[in-house]
Structure formats: structure tokens, C-alpha cells
């Protein structure tokens, strides 16, 4: 060995070679290691940056999940109650300590959902709760609202959100709708929060958690939409949120966030875009709460510097030394170990935070929750458990569970552990009171120990509801069965035992077929199969007879109602069985009686139909000719002959009324009564009915009064003729059976008794007559029935009036009630459904505005076409039409009528149905098919009854025989149609006067368009054609004359009547400007009647008079002569007849009003010396109530000037003093009648 050592030591180059070799080897190894180390460091830095990005994303998700848990915990406050007070909200939200434990959230708020119809009630409730300044914004009408009710914390920023309607903004509405439909929290897209100001504005988002009504099912989309009650939402400023997530690492990363919906809009305001020069760059797509975000992260120079410092750069010079190499290795090792320790600590902190969240969630749960160890002692109890058990959460901790919930963990037999899901049990409160509860138990293992989580639900309310349900079922008068899907009975009530004869114990568990006859079990199986397929409630026994089987075997006629019922997971069927044995027996008796009545009714209908035609045809001529005879127009009949003609006419009318009553009764009983609903003025109808019966009341010395409550609508929808017939029958009956006292008609509106019902119109006719015994109340409503024979002999009558009145009321959808006692009078109350008519459907037109036109001109510029094969009746109609200014063309056949329609146009067509060649209906159909005659009024006058269900807007149906008064009314109504198209433009700045003028002229038949400013007037005049202009001279910005000139430039005012109203008299210059138009200037202090007089030329355009009219200007004019002295009437009538005037006399106020209502007159002569100042009262009534516009001359005795003043004050145009001289009378008549026909001169 020494030799070898010596040998080696003798090689001096070996150390150098070894050294060089080691140096070369170590140098190569160092270079190789340096390259490997550099590559590893770059990969490690990229991985660390990726982990940091993952950590940012994870922290963001965890933070948003924490906010969700906060809102879910707070939502527990509302699970137990639909209403939350401000104190409840503040108490619950203050416990959250948002700013301390949940940084980054701007606010958390509660919003309530309300539909439009409930908005006012909700706002009123909020103000009544003490928030008087609460308001909802933005304003506007929407179908639904989500109004921010409470918010936390309350600071100056968050207060701006209170009252905001979340559904008014599109972005918020999309998130709310999605959250409501899905039932999970949803984020909005980027938006500007209501808390933002102009300084440091940031992009915000809202997280919505939907709230549903307590106990409502939310399994389907429709259920969730129906149960939606509001939202809890958190508001976040995204920049602040990300700053809270990053914390101290905020400056280490270039960070930007984008929403997928708006990818070009950065969400983090104040942060620069991620630089493309960043050493590390990552992009992550985050889907969270319905939104897709793109998170873009880049490294900053600070972060890269930290990486370089922590990476331990491998230096070649330092690597040549072992110390540096060792130090770098040790440093890298220690760095990695420290990083692992920091990660472990972060995970531990997150675990603690989650445990705290879990504990807070348990505390906020509305369900009583207890956490027990394996020894059965309570370790944790929430506030709901403390409230349920009557203790506090602190006192419950450490107590044994069996003290409060005996047997919850260990059963009494073998001590085995129980696992239950919603098992009913009994809990014991601190005061010893037992409570029924639903118990659910969940066991889990932690740290080798077993813990038990118990949830207790209070069942006290449910037990009470079940007891009430059992009592209701037992008390039901019908049999009640409940059977399962296999058809086995699981529940019956006492009535079931009584009906079928089985005891409850015998029926339980038995198949339901036990109660069904064998012959009907096949039908039962078919019905049951369809019921299971459809799953809807069904009522059986209405279309077919069903029977049940009694215990003794006999059959029971029944009706059955089936309803599905779900109890937990079990599908049950509820059957309600009704015993209809008594009803079936009654039905058999009624069927036998009905068959007998059908045969008798058919014979009666055939008889009445034949008699109707046979009686009406001759009666038509009798009535018309007797009416002409009693008028004695040619004065060639003696007074006795006139009286006889009047007796004939009145007897004919009585016979016609009797025929109509019998036919109406037959129609009602046969169900053929035709109802024509139309808009009508209730006050006018009542006044017409009362006025027609006032003579009867005066003759009997009775007071007849009527009144209408203010809340009763002016216009209603009903059958005018039938309602008038009801009123006339009731009033006539009251007057007939009242010897002294009064008859009062009172009209009221009765509100609906239920929200789904409709208001009623009540017309009460009360008298002070003989009264009716209670046992006779129903009898008097039967046809041809009176209390006894002496009543008929003393008071007369056929016993049809009340029967027809009640049945007509029932046809109109109502009825009649009677309250009466002998000697105490009677009160008949008509109740009808109240159907309102639009106010524009009824116009009160004054008869004097629609005089018949002469010279061959009708209403629409043509004559009258009469298609009638009865030459006598056609001649009568033609004469009446000629008296109203309608020349006639008479055609005896339908073909002649069609040829006349082809050649010319007519104002109206009078048509008979029974024509010798073709049917009148064919003529009517061809007339309506012709475009030229589609709007021509058609009056069908025939003895054929109107077909049921037939209606035509432009046609009217009259049934022969027709009285002359009906013909007169026909032509008066036809003349009135002339002014229906008159339009009036009203320009007035004073709203009160504008409303007064509008109402007044609408009563005159004008269609009024009202304007406040001249700009509105120009637009209205450009859109419509007006016949009258009423303009305020004192308009703002310009006067009325300037407006007239502007309107004349738009369209000529040549044929337009103009009235200019002014406060002060016009200057001469303005009067000159005004005279260019057909106009008149009036002061605003003038009465409205003066304005009516100024409009007469605009309302009535008389045709040019012929030669005969120039020579005899009074010829053909009609005069109403009213005087209580028959001798004066005879003398003055003789004078008027000599002048060619047609005189209609009247001896009383009621008769005069009736004549005026039935006819059209050109002048009225009224005696001022009538009893009880009747002359002045009649003039006022004609002017005010009947809209009389013709001249009225008062007849007075002597020349006392006070008489003239009183007459003019009452409304008379002039006074004629008795004794009357022929010359003075003619002069006065010429002056009054010619002035009425001459247009007013402009001032």
C-alpha cells in the first residue's frame, strides 16, 4: 500500500487533472443545473400566478355565496308572516352587521310585489304605518310593480332607493323575472345604482333573491309566478366589491371584469385595462347567478418583482461556491415550506368563517332546531326552538333533550336509536304545557362522535284546522265519502250512515262498489276511469239518473259530486252524495202537469194569434177616423157629435189596451216577449209617465209626486216601452185604489250586496189607498185576479195590470216586491239590474227645434215613401206626414216601392209586411242592400208581430192598429233627426262657464267640442265641420276676433253661426269686424235663453216660402190654446180658425202638457187666470222642463202692468188682454210667428 501511495504521490499532475476534471465536471454540471433551474422557475411563477388568479376567482365566488347566505338567512324573517314591520326589519338587519362581517356590499333591501289594482292600497297601508313621506317612483301606470320597502343600512345614499319600482327599469326587470320564474337568486347586468352620485361613480350590480307567499306551492312556473311576493336584494359597486375581495393584493394585479352581454364595457371603473406587456396574463369565464362574466388578470411590475425576489435566481458566479448554492437551496426550501404554512392558515380561517355562517343560518331559521350530542344533551338551540319551548337559547344549552321532547332519541322498549322524517310527536314547554309537533331527526358523525339534528314544527294550528274540518264534514246535510285510488272507503260522515243504512265501522276499508247497484257498476267504472284521466271535479246525476244501494237493497235516487284530493303522497277522491228522492217525486208530478199545460197553452196561443189580427185591422180605422171626427177640423159637426166621436175613440183605446194586455200576458207566458234594450233618460221617462196620469190624479183629488235620488244615473240601458208599461200599470193601480191622500214614486239606486254582483234600480210606487192583506199579496199578481168581486165592481179593472207588470219586470231581469196592510196603503217596489248608458248616447232635444219642413223637403232632402196596400190607412199616414212638411209617394205593392227607391231618395220609408205581390221583408232587405238607402229610416207598420230576435239600427216596428198620436210622434221624431249632426265649437277660458254652456247646448241637441285656447280651437276646426261657433272675446294672447279671422282663413265661415261673448261692450271698430260674419255679440252676463234665440237661425233653416205662404203667412200654423173657461176657448178658436190656424185646445195644465208632449206647435196661448196660478206655472214648466222654444202669449184680464211683468218673468214672450179683438189678435200672431221664423239681425 505504501508503495502505491508513493506511486500516486509521485504524480503531481493528478491533483491538477482531478482539479481540472472536477472543475470541468462541476462547471458543466452547474451550467446544466442553471438552465434546468431557469426553466423550472419560469414554470413555477406561471403556476403561482395561475393559483393567484384561481384564488381571486374563488374568493369572489365565496364572497357572493356569503352574501346569498346572508339574504337567505334574512329571508327567514318573512317565512313565518306575510307582513313585516319596519321594527322587525331594523332588528333583523342590525344583527347582520354588514359593514363589519360582509365588506363590499353597498346595501341589502326588501322590495314588495304588487299589481296595478292593489298599488293604491299598498301605498296607503305604508303611509298608515307611519311613513307618511313614502312615495313610489318613477310615476306611471304599469301592470305590476316591485317597490323597495326597506333597506339597510340607512344612509344618505341608500335612502334614495326607497320607493323605487324595480320593474320600471329593463335590466332590473330581467333579473327579477328570471329569479321569480326559476326560484333561485339572480344577478342583474351592469347598471347604475340609485345610490350613485356624479362623483366616483362605479358600475353596479344587484343580486335578487325571490320571496314567495307563506305556504304557497312553488313547484311549477305558474305557481311561482302566482305566489311571488317580492325580493330581497343586495346592491354592489363592482370596483368596491373587487377591492374587498383582493384586499391588500389589489396593487399586485392588473384586473378587469366584463359582462358577456356587454363585452366591450369594462365593469371595474377606475382600473386601467390589462396591459398587453404584462408578463403574466389570464382570462377566466365565471358563470354565477345567471350572469356570465369574463375576469381578465395581468401581473404588475410589483408582483413580478416579488416573484423574482422569491424565486431565488440561479447565478453562475454564486453557483461556483458551495455556500451560495447551499444557501439558495435552503432558501428555496424554506420559502416553499412557508408558503405551504400560509395556505394552511388561510384554509383554516375559511373553515372558521363557514362555521360562523352556518351558526348564524341556524339562528335565523324559522323552524325550531336543536343540536344534541350522543348523550342526549342539547348543545345548540336557535331562537325558534327557544320560542317554541318557552325558554331561551342559553338556558336550553346543556339540558337533556328528553325533558322537552320525550322519546325523541331512544324508544321506550329497547333503547334503540330512532331515525324519523316528519314524525308526529309531543313536546313539553318550560311551563309543562304539551305541544303537538312534527319531528324530523338527522344523525351525523364528527370527530368520532355522533350528533343529532332535530327540527320541530308546531302543529297546533293544523290540529285545530283538522278538528274544524271533521266538524264541518259531520255537520254536512249530505253524505260525504272519501276513498283511495283503489276505491276503498277511508272516511264517511254521519249522514252516510243514515242514507245507506251501514254503520261507520262496516263501511271503513270496504270498496265503494258496496254502495252502488250492480246494474250501474259498469257506468261507475267508466266515470271513475275518465275522472282519473282528467283529474277535474265532476257533478254526476244532472244528465242521467243515478242510484245508490241501501243496505236492505232498495235503490236511492242521488246526485254525486266528485273532487280530487291529495293528502301528502296519497291521491284520494272526495264524493258528496245528495239524496234527491223527494225532488224526483215532485218532478214527476210537475211533468204530468206541464204536459197538460202545454196542450192548453197551444190552444190559447192559436186563439190569441187569430184574434189579434182580426181585431186590430178594423180597430185601426176606428181609432184614426174617430180621432179625426172628434177634432172636428172642418167645424162641420155638432158638439154632441164630437162628444160621441170622443166616446168612440176612448172606448176604442180601452179596447186596444185590453187586447194589448191580453196579448202581452200571452207572449210573456209563451216566452215570446221581445226586449229592446236601448239608452233612455230615466227622468224623462218618469216625467212622461207621471204627466200622462196627472189628469186621473186630479180627477180623483189625489197628489201625484215623483222624485229621483241624486246618485241615480241619468242614463240607463233598458226597454223603454216595457219600463213605461210597468210604471203606468203600477201608478194607474195606485190611483185607482186610493180614494184620498197621495201617490208617490221614488227612484233609488241599491248597491250590490257582493263584489261580483251588480247594482239595482229600485222604483217604489207608494199610495195611501185601501191596502192589501198579507195573504192576498201573491194572488193579486195572478192574471184576472182581484181580492174579491166587490173590488172589481167598485173600482173596475180586469186584473191584468199587476200580473203584466210583475212578469215584464222578470223579463227585464228583475222583479216586484209588495209591502202592504189593510188600511195602511201599499208600496210596490220594482227592482231591475242597473245597466249604465254612456252619457253621449242620450241627448235631450227640444221639440221646437225640429219643425217640419215644407216645400217638398224632408229630413234628408227627399219626401216620404209609403208602401201600403190599405189605401185608407195610406191616405191617413200621408195626411199626417204632409202636416209635418213631408210630401208623400204612395205605392200599393212592393214592386212599385222598389221602383220608386231606384228612381229617387226619400227622407223615410213607411212599410207594410203583408203586401199583395212580394213580402215586405224582401223589400226591406233589398232597400238595405242598396248603398244609397242604407241609412234611410224605415218604419214598419203591420199587424204581423215583430219577429223574435229581429233588430235593425235604422228601422222601427209599430204594430197595428196605430193611434194618430203615435203617427204624430213618429213624424216629430223623424224631424228631430235633422239636428243630430249639428256640431258646436265652444271656446271659453272660464272652466265653470264652459261646463255650464256645454251642458246647456248638449241638452239642445248639439255635439259640443270645447276648447280653452285658440290653438286647440284651430286644431278642432281643421278636423271637424261646425255649424255654430261660441267664442270668448277675452282669450289669452289674442282676442276672439283674431281667432275668427284665423278660422275663416282655414275654412270659410259663410254658413256658420257665430256668437262672440265679452265682458265689456265691443268698440265700433270691433263691431265692424264682426259684421263680416253671420254673428252676434253677447255679454257674458246675458241669460242662456238669449243665446238660444241668437242660435235659432243656425238650428232651423226654413225653406223659401211659396206664393200661398206670402199671401197667408199664418196658414197651417198650429196653436196650443190653454184656458179653463170653455166659452173663451170656443170664442178664441173661432177667431184662429178664420186665419187658417190649427187649434188644439186644453182646459187644464196637465192636459196642455200632454198635448205639447204629443204634438208640435208654432205658438202657445196660455190663460194667466187659471186656478192656483196654473197659467204662470204652466209657462215655466213648458220653458224649463219641456224645452219649449216657440212663442208663448199670456192671456190676461185687464191692463194691469204687473200682470205683464209676472207673465214675462214666468217666460211669456208677450201678453194679450181680454176681451180679445180680432185685429189685435191677428197683429200679435203675425208679429210673433214671423219673428220666430226670421233670422236675428246682428247688432
Q: pLDDT higher for 971 or 162? A: 162
CA torsion, points 61, 62, 68, 74, in degrees to nearest 10?
A: -160
User: What is the rounded distance in angstroms from the CA atom of residue 1006 to the CA atom of residue 844?
Assistant: 10
How do residues 632-664 score in pLDDT, each as one tens digit? Answer: 766 788 887 888 888 787 777 777 777 777 777
Q: At 485, phi and psi to the nearest 5?
A: -70, -20
Q: What percentage of the chain has pLDDT greater than the value 90?
A: 10
CB 358 within 8 A of CB 399: no
Are 142 and 266 in contact, with CB atoms under 8 Å apart?
no
Residue for grid cell 206541464: 594
Q: Which residues are CB-contacts of 751 (< 8 A; sequence separation ≥ 6)? A: 759
Judged by average pLDDT, the poorest of 220-224, 358-362, 689-693 is 358-362
Q: What is the pLDDT of residue 337?
A: 64
Distance CA 564, CA 576 (A): 12
Beta-carbon contacts of 363 under 8 Å, excluding residues fewer than 6 positions away, are 73, 382, 383
Q: Are strands 1057-1062 and 1028-1032 parallel, antiparallel or unpaired?
A: parallel
Strands, sheet with 281-288, edge to edge from the N-terminal-most edge strand: 262-266, 253-259, 291-299, 281-288
**pLDDT the model gives residue 331:** 45
pLDDT at 191 over 70: yes
Please state, rounded to an integer, the average pLDDT across all residues of the chain: 78
- C-alpha grid cell for residue 1063? 265682458
Q: Which residue has the cell 196661448?
A: 1165
Beta carbons of 296 and 258 less than 8 angstroms apart: yes
Cα-trace Rg, the chain: 50
For 599-606, which contacts have Cβ atoms below 8 Å and span 24 or more sequence positions? 601/669, 601/670, 604/666, 605/666, 605/670
Q: In what order do the strands lie in the sheet with 423-428?
A: 378-381, 368-373, 449-458, 434-446, 423-428
DSSP string, 88-116: HHHHHHHHH-HHHHSTTEEEEEEEEEEEG
Q: What is the pLDDT of residue 605?
A: 65
- CB within 8 Å of 417: residues ≥ 6 apart: 409, 410, 443
What kind and span of H or E run contains 672?
A: none
Q: What is each CA distance from 226 to 145, 222, 494, 1209, in whole angstroms?
A: 14, 6, 38, 68
Q: Which helix (H) or strand (E) holds 118?
A: none
For the cut 60, the answer to whether the pLDDT of residue 1178 exceeds it is yes
User: Tell me: the pLDDT tens digits for 913-943?
Assistant: 888 888 888 888 888 888 778 778 899 998 7
Q: CA–CA separation, 831 vs 805, rounded Å?
A: 12
User: Parallel, antiparallel, or unpaired: how do β-strands 1007-1011 and 983-987 relate?
Assistant: parallel
Question: Strands, E, within 1018-1067: which ranges?
Answer: 1028-1032, 1057-1062
Structure-block grid coordinates of residue 364:
335565523
Measure CA of the first residue to CA of the last residue in the chain; give whole Å: 161
HSE-CB of 810 using CA atoms within 13 angstroms: 11
Among 1096, 1101, 1028, which Cα is nearest to 1240's?
1096
Helix (H, G, I), strand (E, B) or coil at 43: helix
**Taking CA 1000 as the corner, what is the angle to CA 996 and CA 1002, rounded to the nearest 5 degrees?**
120
479-483 and 449-458 beta bridge pairing: unpaired
Q: Where are the alpha helices (DSSP H) in 110-186?
A: 119-128, 170-182
pLDDT of residue 154 exceeding 80: yes
- Label residues 1189-1204 b or e (16+ Cβ within 10 Å = b): bbbbbbbbeeeeeebb
Angle at 455 between CA 454 and CA 458, to 5 degrees: 135
Least confident residue range of 19-23, 879-883, 953-957: 19-23
Range in 44-48, 859-863, 1021-1025, 1158-1162 with the lowest mean pLDDT: 859-863
Which pairing describes strands 1142-1146 and 938-942: parallel, antiparallel, or unpaired?
unpaired
Cα gap 247→52, rounded to integer Å: 13
Check pLDDT > 90 for residue 41: no
Cell numbers placing 829: 217596489
Please report how many Cα atoms fall inside a 13 Å half-sphere around the Cα of residue 603, on the Cβ side: 4
Asked if residue 1077 has pLDDT above 80, the reply is no
Rounded to 5 degrees, φ, ψ at 919 are -75, 145
**Res 79 pLDDT > 80:** no
Here the cell at position 325 is 448554492
Kindly report whether the global pTM for this prediction surpasses the value 0.85: no
Amino acid at each position: 500500500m505504501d508503495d502505491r501511495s508513493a506511486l500516486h504521490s509521485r504524480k503531481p499532475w493528478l491533483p491538477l487533472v482531478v482539479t481540472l476534471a472536477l472543475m470541468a465536471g462541476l462547471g458543466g454540471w452547474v451550467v446544466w443545473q442553471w438552465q434546468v433551474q431557469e426553466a423550472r422557475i419560469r414554470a413555477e411563477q406561471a403556476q403561482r400566478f395561475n393559483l393567484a388568479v384561481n384564488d381571486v376567482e374563488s374568493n369572489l365566488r365565496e364572497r357572493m355565496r356569503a352574501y346569498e347566505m346572508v339574504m337567505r338567512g334574512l329571508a327567514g324573517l318573512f317565512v313565518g308572516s306575510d307582513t313585516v314591520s319596519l321594527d322587525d326589519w331594523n332588528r333583523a338587519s342590525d344583527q347582520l352587521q354588514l359593514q363589519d362581517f360582509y365588506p363590499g356590499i353597498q346595501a341589502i333591501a326588501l322590495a314588495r310585489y304588487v299589481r296595478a289594482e292593489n298599488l293604491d292600497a299598498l301605498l296607503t297601508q305604508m303611509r298608515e304605518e307611519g311613513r307618511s313621506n313614502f312615495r313610489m317612483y318613477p310615476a306611471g301606470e304599469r301592470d305590476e310593480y316591485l317597490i323597495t320597502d326597506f333597506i339597510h343600512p340607512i344612509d344618505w345614499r341608500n335612502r334614495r332607493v326607497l320607493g323605487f319600482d324595480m320593474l320600471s327599469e329593463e335590466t332590473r326587470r330581467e333579473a327579477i323575472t328570471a329569479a321569480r320564474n326559476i326560484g333561485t337568486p339572480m344577478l342583474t347586468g351592469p347598471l347604475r345604482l340609485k345610490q350613485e352620485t356624479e362623483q366616483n361613480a362605479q358600475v353596479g350590480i344587484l343580486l335578487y333573491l325571490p320571496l314567495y307567499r307563506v305556504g304557497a306551492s312553488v313547484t311549477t312556473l305558474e305557481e311561482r309566478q302566482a305566489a311571488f311576493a317580492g325580493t330581497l336584494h343586495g346592491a354592489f359597486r363592482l370596483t368596491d366589491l373587487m377591492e374587498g375581495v383582493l384586499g391588500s393584493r389589489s396593487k399586485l394585479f392588473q384586473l378587469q371584469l366584463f359582462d358577456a352581454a356587454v363585452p366591450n364595457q369594462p365593469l371595474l371603473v377606475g382600473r386601467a385595462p390589462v396591459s398587453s406587456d404584462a408578463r403574466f396574463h389570464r382570462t377566466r369565464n365565471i358563470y354565477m347567478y345567471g350572469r356570465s362574466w369574463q375576469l381578465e388578470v395581468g401581473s404588475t411590475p410589483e408582483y413580478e418583482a416579488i416573484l423574482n425576489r422569491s424565486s431565488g435566481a440561479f447565478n453562475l458566479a454564486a453557483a461556483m461556491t458551495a455556500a451560495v448554492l447551499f444557501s439558495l437551496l435552503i432558501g428555496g426550501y424554506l420559502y416553499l415550506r412557508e408558503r405551504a404554512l400560509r395556505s394552511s392558515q388561510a384554509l383554516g380561517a375559511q373553515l372558521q368563517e363557514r362555521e360562523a355562517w352556518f351558526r348564524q343560518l341556524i339562528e335565523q331559521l324559522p323552524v325550531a332546531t336543536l343540536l344534541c350530542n350522543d348523550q342526549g344533551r342539547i348543545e345548540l338551540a336557535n331562537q325558534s326552538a327557544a320560542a317554541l319551548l318557552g325558554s331561551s337559547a342559553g338556558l336550553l344549552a346543556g339540558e337533556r333533550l328528553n325533558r322537552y321532547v320525550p322519546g325523541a332519541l331512544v324508544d321506550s322498549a329497547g333503547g334503540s336509536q330512532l331515525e324519523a322524517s316528519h314524525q308526529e310527536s309531543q313536546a313539553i314547554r318550560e311551563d309543562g304545557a304539551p305541544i303537538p309537533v312534527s319531528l324530523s331527526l338527522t344523525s351525523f358523525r364528527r370527530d368520532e362522535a355522533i350528533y343529532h339534528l332535530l327540527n320541530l314544527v308546531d302543529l297546533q294550528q293544523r290540529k285545530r284546522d283538522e278538528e274544524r274540518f271533521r266538524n264541518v264534514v259531520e255537520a254536512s246535510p249530505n253524505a260525504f265519502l272519501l276513498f283511495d285510488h283503489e276505491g276503498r272507503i277511508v272516511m264517511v260522515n254521519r249522514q252516510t250512515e243514515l242514507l245507506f243504512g251501514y254503520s261507520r265501522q262496516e263501511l271503513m276499508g270496504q270498496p265503494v262498489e258496496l254502495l252502488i247497484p250492480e246494474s250501474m257498476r259498469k257506468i261507475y267504472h267508466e266515470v271513475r276511469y275518465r275522472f282519473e284521466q282528467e283529474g277535474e271535479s265532476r257533478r254526476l246525476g244532472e244528465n242521467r239518473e243515478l242510484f245508490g244501494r241501501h243496505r236492505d237493497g232498495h235503490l236511492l235516487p242521488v246526485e254525486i259530486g266528485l273532487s280530487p284530493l291529495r293528502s301528502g303522497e296519497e291521491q284520494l277522491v272526495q264524493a258528496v252524495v245528495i239524496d234527491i228522492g223527494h225532488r224526483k217525486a215532485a218532478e214527476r208530478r210537475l211533468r204530468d202537469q206541464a204536459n197538460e199545460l202545454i196542450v192548453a197553452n197551444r190552444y190559447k196561443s192559436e186563439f190569441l194569434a187569430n184574434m189579434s189580427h182580426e181585431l186590430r185591422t178594423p180597430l185601426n180605422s176606428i181609432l184614426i177616423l174617430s180621432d179625426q171626427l172628434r177634432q172636428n177640423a172642418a167645424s162641420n159637426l155638432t158638439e154632441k157629435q164630437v162628444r160621441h166621436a170622443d166616446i168612440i175613440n176612448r172606448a176604442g183605446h180601452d179596447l186596444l189596451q185590453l187586447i194589448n194586455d191580453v196579448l202581452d200576458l200571452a207572449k210573456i207566458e209563451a216566452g215570446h216577449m221581445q226586449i229592446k234594450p236601448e239608452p233612455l233618460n230615466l227622468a224623462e221617462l218618469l216625467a212622461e209617465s207621471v204627466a200622462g196620469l196627472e189628469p186621473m190624479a186630479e180627477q180623483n183629488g189625489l197628489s201625484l209626486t215623483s222624485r229621483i235620488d241624486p246618485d241615480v244615473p241619468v242614463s240607463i240601458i233598458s226597454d223603454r216601452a216595457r219600463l213605461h208599461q210597468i210604471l203606468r200599470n203600477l201608478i194607474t193601480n195606485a190611483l185607482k185604489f186610493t180614494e184620498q191622500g197621495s201617490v208617490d214614486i221614488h227612484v233609488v239606486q241599491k248597491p250590490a250586496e257582493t263584489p261580483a254582483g251588480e247594482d239595482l234600480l229600485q222604483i217604489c210606487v207608494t199610495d195611501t189607498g185601501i191596502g192589501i192583506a198579507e195573504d192576498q199579496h201573491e194572488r193579486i199578481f195572478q192574471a184576472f185576479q182581484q181580492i174579491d168581486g166587490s173590488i172589481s165592481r167598485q173600482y173596475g179593472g180586469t186584473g191584468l195590470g199587476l200580473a203584466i207588470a210583475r212578469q215584464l219586470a222578470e223579463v227585464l231581469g228583475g222583479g216586484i216586491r209588495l209591502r202592504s196592510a189593510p188600511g195602511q196603503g201599499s208600496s210596490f217596489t220594482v227592482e231591475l239590474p242597473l245597466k249604465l248608458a254612456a252619457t253621449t248616447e242620450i241627448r235631450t232635444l227640444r221639440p221646437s227645434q225640429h219643425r217640419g219642413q215644407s216645400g217638398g223637403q224632408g229630413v234628408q232632402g227627399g219626401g216620404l215613401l209609403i208602401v201600403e196596400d190599405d189605401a185608407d190607412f195610406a191616405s191617413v199616414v200621408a195626411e199626417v206626414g204632409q202636416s209635418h212638411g213631408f210630401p208623400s209617394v204612395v205605392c200599393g205593392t212592393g214592386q212599385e216601392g222598389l221602383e220608386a227607391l231606384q228612381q229617387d231618395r226619400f227622407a223615410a220609408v213607411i212599410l207594410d209586411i203583408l203586401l199583395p205581390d212580394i213580402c215586405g221583408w224582401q223589400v226591406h232587405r233589398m232597400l238595405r242592400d242598396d248603398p244609397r238607402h242604407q241609412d234611410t229610416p224605415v218604419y214598419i207598420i203591420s199587424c204581423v208581430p215583430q219577429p223574435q230576435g229581429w233588430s235593425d239600427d235604422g228601422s222601427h216596428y209599430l204594430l197595428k192598429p196605430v193611434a194618430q198620436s203615435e203617427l204624430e210622434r213618429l213624424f216629430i221624431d223623424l224631424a228631430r233627426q235633422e239636428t243630430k249632426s249639428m256640431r258646436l265649437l265652444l271656446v271659453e277660458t272660464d272652466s265653470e262657464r264652459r261646463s255650464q254652456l256645454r251642458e246647456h247646448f248638449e241638452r239642445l241637441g248639439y255635439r259640443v267640442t270645447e276648447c280653452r285656447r285658440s290653438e286647440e280651437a284651430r286644431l278642432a276646426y281643421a278636423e271637424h265641420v261646425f255649424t255654430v261657433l261660441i267664442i270668448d272675446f277675452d282669450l289669452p294672447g289674442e282676442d276672439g276676433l283674431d281667432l275668427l279671422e284665423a278660422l275663416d282663413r282655414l275654412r270659410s265661415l259663410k254658413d256658420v253661426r257665430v256668437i262672440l261673448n265679452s265682458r265689456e261692450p265691443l268698440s265700433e271698430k270691433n263691431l265692424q269686424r264682426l259684421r263680416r260674419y253671420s254673428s252676434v255679440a253677447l255679454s257674458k252676463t246675458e241669460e242662456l235663453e238669449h243665446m238660444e234665440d241668437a242660435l235659432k237661425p243656425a238650428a232651423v233653416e226654413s225653406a223659401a216660402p211659396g206664393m200661398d205662404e206670402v199671401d197667408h203667412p199664418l196658414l197651417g200654423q198650429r196653436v196650443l190654446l190653454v184656458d179653463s173657461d170653455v166659452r173663451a176657448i170656443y170664442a178664441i178658436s173661432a177667431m184662429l180658425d178664420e186665419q187658417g190656424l190649427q187649434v188644439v185646445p186644453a182646459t187644464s195644465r196637465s192636459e196642455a202638457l200632454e198635448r205639447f208632449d204629443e204634438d208640435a206647435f208654432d205658438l202657445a196661448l196660455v190663460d194667466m187666470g187659471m186656478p192656483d196660478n196654473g197659467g204662470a206655472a204652466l209657462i215655466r214648466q213648458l220653458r224649463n222642463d219641456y224645452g219649449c222654444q216657440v212663442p208663448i202669449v199670456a192671456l190676461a184680464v185687464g191692463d194691469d202692468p204687473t200682470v205683464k211683468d209676472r207673465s214675462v218673468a214666468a217666460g211669456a214672450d208677450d201678453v194679450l188682454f181680454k176681451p180679445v179683438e180680432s185685429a189685435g189678435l191677428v197683429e200679435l200672431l203675425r208679429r210673433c210667428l214671423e219673428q220666430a221664423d226670421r233670422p236675428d239681425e246682428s247688432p
